[in-house]
Amino acid sequence: MQHPPELYVGLMSGTSLDGIDAVLVDLSRAQPGLLARHYLPFDGALKNDLLALHQPDHNELHRMQLAGNQLARLYAAAVNALLDTANLPNAAIRAIGCHGQTIRHCPEYGYTLQIGNAALLAELAGITVVSDFRSRDIAAGGQGAPLVPAFHDRVLRHPDRHRVIVNIGGISNLTNLPPHGDTTGFDCGPGNLLMDAWCGQHLRKPYDDGGAWAASGQVLPALLERMLNEPFFALPPPRSSGRDLFNMAWLRSKLQGGERTEDVQATLLELTCRTIAQAIRRYCAGATEIYLCGGGAHNLTLHTRLAALLPDHTVQATDAIGAEGDYLEAIAFAWMAQQTLHGKSASLPLVTGARHACVLGAIYYGQPLHFNSPQSNSPAGGRG
């Protein structure tokens, strides 16, 4: 039977602060059909503005709103470029799933904050936008993150093989997919964000291409031990984190001075690999297959080291099972938008710690809706 297409756009700009991943997806079937993709990088000024908003500073509310408006315009530009590639009108799209840009993640205080002015995006694109996916889960007592395990559960689970999906963006998180058990998942710790920041500071490059710089250095055992003593790594799931904890101030607090820069980079890569491997050994017993996605999947040194730490597992990119790792998160938020519009849950309480599953997201309709005025519904001479 031929299914009519159900087209959604997914937008993701993550903790790495590198740019916007945009995807066009047909969600009319159980397995999403990726029809088009587009990447729009952030310029250095916007990245610096977003980084600054992670910490309290002068006039931050005003600066946050301006940055949110700028992001909305960039999101709209990414959507238009995507649809130009696919030769489709905006009216063909059911909705945009837009995660927004996280600038604070504080579930311990009952809130998380992703900016991007979804109302402006809906106005500019003329397409319904679903955003603010995390807040409803936090209101139900959850962490609001990670959210992608629910999507991994839907599309990457295997009936007989025990898989773990490891997303290595700014923060690394995993999804545990036992074939005969419940899906679980949580944040492991820093993914690329500390390595990228250290590389930017010392090489003036946005990232360590292939992990070559890290490979030129030596792991510093004492520094690694100080990092691994961070209490976050001992927390049981559910747990989530971000730049609120893992940032350059955190890294500087662990340094003693005089370390070779390439050795610090090697140690940061080891930290990412160790915390992922420890999490898999501790919480994913029986897993045999590890699949990597996100920017870290391209880091050959990281991939090789993670495989060495997990010799009883196969370690591959998710592309090996038909899931394009660079755009998997964007596809996930397209799917979450569909779940929202259909009134279905896209959360897993076992992952986030919420008291119950929730329909996630806030909806901003893209086209004007025509409502009757209160007066027109009132009896003649009655009160409006």
Q: Which CATH number fits the domain that encloses residue 45? A: 3.30.420.40
Q: Model confidence over 324-372: pLDDT tens digits?
A: 999 999 999 999 999 999 999 999 999 999 999 999 999 999 975 554 5
pLDDT in tens, 319-337: 999 999 999 999 999 999 9
Q: Are residues 76 and 210 in the same domain?
A: no
Taking residues 265-281, what's their average pLDDT? 98
- Is pLDDT above 60 for 171? yes
Q: What is the pLDDT of residues 9-27, one digit of tens each?
A: 999 998 888 899 999 999 9
Q: Are residues 164 and 307 in the same domain?
A: yes
Q: Say if residue 47 is in the same domain as residue 72.
A: yes
β-pair partners for 120 = none
Residue 327 near residue 338, CB atoms below 8 Å: no
Based on the fold, state whether residues 12 and 123 are members of the same structural domain: yes
For the chain, percent of residues with pLDDT exceeding 90 = 91
**CA-based torsion, 234, 235, 240, 244: positive or negative:** negative
CA distance 74 to 130: 16
User: What's the whole-model pTM score?
Assistant: 0.92
Higher pLDDT, 56 or 175: 175
Residues 305, 183 within the same domain: yes
Average pLDDT rounded to a whole number, residues 64-90 = 97
pLDDT of residue 98 exceeding 50: yes
pLDDT bracket for residue 4 (50, 70, 90): confident
Q: Are residues 183 and 312 in the same domain?
A: yes
Is residue 271 within 8 A of residue 227, CB to CB? The reply is yes
| Interatomic CA distance for residues 8 and 28, integer angstroms | 10
| Domains contained in the chain, number | 2
Which residue blocks in 207-364 are alpha helix, DSSP H? 212-215, 221-228, 248-254, 261-283, 300-309, 328-341, 349-352
Distance CA 66, CA 173 (A): 30
Domain coverage including residue 88: 7-145+328-374
* 8 Å CB contact between 130 and 336: yes
Report the greatest alpha carbon distance in the chain: 84
Report d(CA 188, CA 230) in Å as an integer. 12
User: Is 380 within a domain?
Assistant: no
Residue reference for tokens 């997806």: 25
The reply to whether 170 and 282 lie within a common domain is: yes
17: its two tokens: 């602060």
Question: Taking the CA of residue 79 as centre, how many other CA atoms within 13 Å lie in the half-sphere pointing to its CB?
Answer: 31
